[in-house]
Structure 1
Amino acid sequence: MHKDSRFCPLRWFGVAILLITLVWSGCAPPPRVAMPERPPVERPVAKPPVQPPKPADVGDDVFTAAENFYRQKQYDKALDTYTAYLSRYPNGSWVADSLLKIGMIHREKGRLAQALSSFQKLSLDFPNSALAAEAEVASFPIYYQMKNYGGVIQRATSLLKQRLAPDIYRQTVDWLAQAYFASGRAADALLVYAQAMGNVDATTQLAFRKNMESMAAKTDPDELMRLVNRIGQPEMQGEIVYFAAAGYFQKEDYDKAHAAIDLFRKDYPQNPKRSQIDALALQIKQQAEYEKHTIGCILPLSGTYEAYGKRALRGIEMAQYMFGATRPSEPVTVLVKDSQSTPEGSAAAVRELADAKVAAILGPIGSADSAAETSQSLGIPILVLTQKDRITQIGNQVFRHFITPEMQAEKLVSYAVTSKGLRRFAVLYPKDSYGTGMMNAFWDRVQAAGGTMVGAEGYDPASADFGLPIQKLTGAFFQGQPSGTPPNADIDVLFIPESPARVSQILPQLVYYNLKPRLILGTNLWHTPAMMPLAGGLDAELVCTDAFDPDIEKAPVPEFVKLCTETYNEKPGLIEAITYDSASILFESVLKPKIRFRSDIRKELLAMPSWIGVTGKTRFLPNRDCQKELLIFRIQTDRFLDMTGF
């Protein structure tokens, strides 16, 4: 290539400079333009900030105040404040809440009609509110209290068709079941619970089952069995069958109980109640497994009451002998256990007799609580020989055959009022359990007979001075009168529940302090020859009561007295006589052909017509206490004159 055509940077740089110079020099400068002056800027004056609009008064403060009063249980203030809210804000946000709380307050105060009015207004004005359901539930206890069970049933049934909160649902089911049960529809009540089980949590299920058990225990088991097929859930069906079996057991209908148990084991073998049904079956088996011809007997053959125990044993031995003589083909075995005169010994004796599978138990004498409780727990009928108050309330297996303070008081008061026409009574008694019990029984009978109790004075059982209580009865003590002054209290009848030895000390002091009743009454403790000398020289008539008299000529007493005299060389007393009758009653009852279970013995005793024995007529009342016709005697210096016929 030719060397002149090569690119030379320096040459081109010079050319560029030359061109720029020519352009610059050939262009005229632009004319200057005058700029107008800017006017002064006025700065804006600061304005006060704009306040937001004041919110409308919607009553929140009033409602909050009412709620605070309600939480503090200041119900009157809360009621006034809720009412003020409704008056000032009839369309407010808290109207429904206020109506509910107003109803609650009225209900709490017992104003049931006003409470219902408030609840009903809430339901009508706010039918779609959750509070409407609460108002319905709140009204249930009111209808229930008013015994308007139909109202509860109607409203609860309707409410359950809605979608409810869990707590509202639980309460509604509860009230519906309770209303059904109260109206005599136990099966429907149980069905309500059973059908609700799948809709509640485990805690509520437990509560429902507890209520079901309580209801089922009071429901006829036949009705329970009819209910089984109405329940769709197998587990609940099994529970109802169990409840029915338990009901039959309580009614002592063991055949039907067995049938229910068999059904349970066949159709519901995995049911949670299986262990309980097996225990029930075992109890029924124990009722059937006993020695039909064996009677247990508990007596104090040692210890404090040994003398009474040995006399009672005579009565039992004579009863066994006489029963065998009249019914040789049906011998009776008697197993005798010593109570050792203690409660612990009595309870141990019951357990030993239970192991021996006795049909029933006779005894003990005196303190019988522990023996009765043990026998009741084991399901063995027991016939106790005691005056202990309310002993038969221990349970349905406990019977009593003995004379009680109430029996004696009733006989004595009846004689005084009916035979003698006397109305003014007083009691002089020792302050011990025997004397106090007799005094209370006597007082009750006097009032029941329309008599007047002038007074009742107690004394120290260890004292031999009876002057102070006697003067209190006469009124002399309160007026400061000396002894021998005519009393101002006119006492017709004086009751002294004491032993003959103490009565012999009291009677002279009655004369000394010028207490002169026309009739002086005593208990069966007076029915002894030791009282005869005390009758001499008295203006008053001495009278006592008892259940047995060996000198009565009416059968079967003479034969019994003869047997005792020939066997033991002395006449029988009350202890021998009452144990003789008690044993005879049991022998006769346990050997009835229809007796299959121990419970049948109990039923036989209750169904027994008046038993005519050596202690008179006897029968057992529904409370299993005995009813006896006592004797009444006028004490004379040479005999006890029978005044039973008045």
Structure 2
Amino acid sequence: MTAGDLLGREDPVREPVTTGPVTTEESPQELVTPTRPLDGVVQAWLQAGEGDTVAQFLDRLDEGDEDELLGLGELDMPEPAKSLLRYRQALIRHHRGLPLGPLPAQPPAIEFQALHDRVHGLRLPSPSRRLCLLLPLDKGDMGTSLQENFTLGLGEDKGDWELDVRSSEQPEAAIEGFAQAGCPLVITGPYLSRTERAAQRAAILGMPLISMGRDDTLPSISPWVFQVGLPNRHQIEALVKGAIDLRGYRRFAVLFPRSRDGWQSAEAFSEQVGRAGAEVVYLQPYMKGERTFTSLVEVMVGRDESSLNRRRDFRKCVSEIPETAKGLRKKRAWEGCRDHTAPVVDFDAIFVPDDLRTVRQLMAFLEQSDMVASLDERALWKTRKATSNKELQPTPILGLRQLNSNHLAKRTRFAVDGTLFVDAFYPQGKEHVLAGQYARAYYKRYKRKPGLLEATAFDLGRLTGELLKNSKLTDRYQLRGHLSSLAEFDAITGPWTMGPDGQVARPLKLLSIHRRHIMTEQERLAELEKAKSKKRRRGR
């Protein structure tokens, strides 16, 4: 809530809950005012109070740093700027759960009477024992599933605390409702546009907010905003490191959708590859939702018409087509020359930051272009034999956590061994027993395997339970400090350590596929070494 809100310049404000008399005197024990800012800042505000119009000064107050505004104290400036500053300081203190401090006895002008009355009518909400969830309840079963996983993680730790779950369709109104209800903390779902709006309102109200989203720019909105989702940037860092260090790849092709995530992922991948001393040799976007990749793959491997005409072997083949061949016969002869021209593969792997369906579709077009998008030795041998191309090298797919699915490992008709991707949730691992127990319990209830989002909601429930045990949910400032210093929290998608940017950092699993099973890349390499040892013992 801002001064502009109270003047009716934005959405109407809900009436706050009244619980006691107005506090108009500062209490040294209760009211904490930041240190007075530097003289240059004070001078800038004095000049603004003297030279700005009322509308300009209100905008300046709404955009100003809260600690800086509180640090101005009772700054002596002309009316109405002096009273408007007092009103804004009172709003900040109210949002932080502090007494309002000294207020003007009279409005500076008649047009500010409504603002004056509303600020004097503000009351601190009564302490609330509510756990507040802002979830996409309008998005099918997603909201309900996240709520149930949060509750499962919370277990019996909530005591007499009750859950307050609201839909994220109108995030600003929901956050205002949570503030009036005295919620100490808000946990939101994954949708970026809704989460951004909720985070902006929570920052104004001084409410800690934890998002399950994955946009790494979200925490920059305010120190009150934290994020535990897995950003693409973190996945790409781990993916590039694994591809270069464990597999020795040095040259990459990148195919990505024309979307915000697609462009950001392509840029981040190119940047990380460059830092590692490798290079991206081919970079090409495609329309989001594309299902036909014929022309894109042909250009990538030099099988489009302009590239073919520059190749001597293709021109020789075309020159041998009989002049008597006309129409369909000539077209088929030309296509035969194209198909017998080996693809130009000057890269080690292909990075595709897209969903599972698109990656599987792309694999079909790679196979059609006589490429092998896997490390399966038999598939490589068969393709080399069929195309008479003994120099053909495999070019596996690199992707993000969306590829961590048995639909890719077990239900794809192409060879997918060696496909490389990362994830934070790997219940098959033996190092975290609780992750496996959770996955089995989830499958027993829902008849499907949990994903990262459900596991994150479960971890948030466990984190909230830890905060309740340690009585960390009674004070917003104490809670914000505790979240900022979070370190090595034993999450099944972790461990979690809160970074200085408000984004959770955690070690990621580098995963691959071997013989239709998902496993870590280290496990895959160990399996290959076992197979080689058996061959040596048999004398093969």
TM-score under structure 2 normalisation?
Answer: 0.65
Secondary structure of the corresponding residue to residue 617 of structure 1: coil
Q: Does 1:479 align with 2:307?
A: yes
Q: Does 1:363 align with 2:188?
A: yes
Q: Which has the larger radius of gyration?
A: 1
2:277 maps to what in 1? 450
Aligned pairs (5 A) from 1:490-505: 490-505=346-361
The structural deviation recorded for 1:189 is 8.0
Percent of matched pairs sharing the same residue: 19
Letter paired with 1:332:
W
Q: Distance in 2 between matches of 1:505 and 1:234?
A: 67
Q: Does 1:510 align with 2:388?
A: no
Unaligned runs of 5+ in 1: 1-183
- Which structure ranks higher in relative contact order (CA pairs < 8 Å, sequence separation ≥ 6)? 2
Q: Distance in 2 between matches of 1:551 and 1:278?
A: 61
Q: Does 1:544 align with 2:421?
A: yes
The structural deviation recorded for 1:452 is 0.7
The structural deviation recorded for 1:630 is 1.7
The structural deviation recorded for 1:528 is 0.9
Unaligned runs of 5+ in 2: 1-35, 312-337, 372-392, 526-540
1:584 maps to what in 2? 462
Structure 2 CA distance for partners of 1:354 and 1:205, relative to 1, 3 Å: closer
Letter paired with 1:544:
F
1:311 maps to what in 2? 145
- Contact map agreement 1:295 1:333 (CA 8 A) in 2: yes
Structure 2 CA distance for partners of 1:559 and 1:474, relative to 1, 3 Å: same
Q: Distance in 1 between matches of 2:340 and 2:486?
A: 56
- Contact map agreement 1:364 1:371 (CA 8 A) in 2: no
Q: Distance in 2 between matches of 1:476 and 1:430?
A: 22
Q: Does 1:601 align with 2:451?
A: no
2:516 maps to what in 1? 638
Q: Distance in 2 between matches of 1:243 and 1:644?
A: 62
Q: Does 1:438 align with 2:272?
A: no
Residues 116-135 of structure 1 show CA distances to partners (whole Å, capped at 9, x for unaligned) of: xxxxxxxxxxxxxxxxxxxx
How many aligned residue pairs are there? 429
- Contact map agreement 2:185 2:473 (CA 8 A) in 1: no
- Contact map agreement 2:417 2:512 (CA 8 A) in 1: no
- Contact map agreement 1:308 1:575 (CA 8 A) in 2: no
The structural deviation recorded for 1:419 is 1.6
The structural deviation recorded for 1:570 is 4.7
Aligned pairs (5 A) from 1:296-375: 296-302=132-138, 305-321=139-155, 324=156, 327=157, 330-339=159-168, 343-344=169-170, 346-367=171-192, 368=194, 369-375=196-202
The structural deviation recorded for 1:527 is 0.8
The structural deviation recorded for 1:543 is 1.1
The structural deviation recorded for 1:439 is 2.5
Q: Distance in 2 between matches of 1:205 and 1:309?
A: 46
Equivalent residue in structure 2 for 1:419, among 223, 226, 246: 246
Secondary structure of the corresponding residue to residue 427 of structure 1: strand
Q: Does 1:410 align with 2:217?
A: no
1:467 maps to what in 2? 294
Equivalent residue in structure 2 for 1:529, among 393, 400, 406: 406
Structure 2 CA distance for partners of 1:640 and 1:204, relative to 1, 3 Å: closer
Letter paired with 1:493:
A
Structure 2 CA distance for partners of 1:374 and 1:488, relative to 1, 3 Å: same
Equivalent residue in structure 1 for 2:256, among 429, 434, 438: 429
Aligned pairs (5 A) from 1:15-34: none
Q: Does 1:400 align with 2:227?
A: yes
Secondary structure of the corresponding residue to residue 425 of structure 1: strand
Q: Distance in 2 between matches of 1:500 and 1:464?
A: 12
Q: Distance in 2 between matches of 1:366 and 1:234?
A: 44
Structure 2 CA distance for partners of 1:308 and 1:637, relative to 1, 3 Å: farther
Structure 2 CA distance for partners of 1:571 and 1:514, relative to 1, 3 Å: closer
Secondary structure of the corresponding residue to residue 500 of structure 2: coil
2:502 maps to what in 1? 624
Secondary structure of the corresponding residue to residue 141 of structure 2: helix
**Larger proportion of helix:** 1
Residues 230-250 of structure 1 show CA distances to partners (whole Å, capped at 9, x for unaligned) of: x9x8999x969x789949968
- Contact map agreement 1:222 1:244 (CA 8 A) in 2: no
The structural deviation recorded for 1:206 is 8.4
Q: Distance in 2 between matches of 1:399 and 1:599?
A: 14
The structural deviation recorded for 1:418 is 1.8
Letter paired with 1:365:
P
Q: Distance in 2 between matches of 1:234 and 1:503?
A: 63
The structural deviation recorded for 1:580 is 0.8
Secondary structure of the corresponding residue to residue 490 of structure 2: strand
- Contact map agreement 1:428 1:495 (CA 8 A) in 2: yes
Equivalent residue in structure 1 for 2:451, among 556, 564, 573: 573
Q: Distance in 2 between matches of 1:399 and 1:432?
A: 25
Structure 2 CA distance for partners of 1:365 and 1:247, relative to 1, 3 Å: same
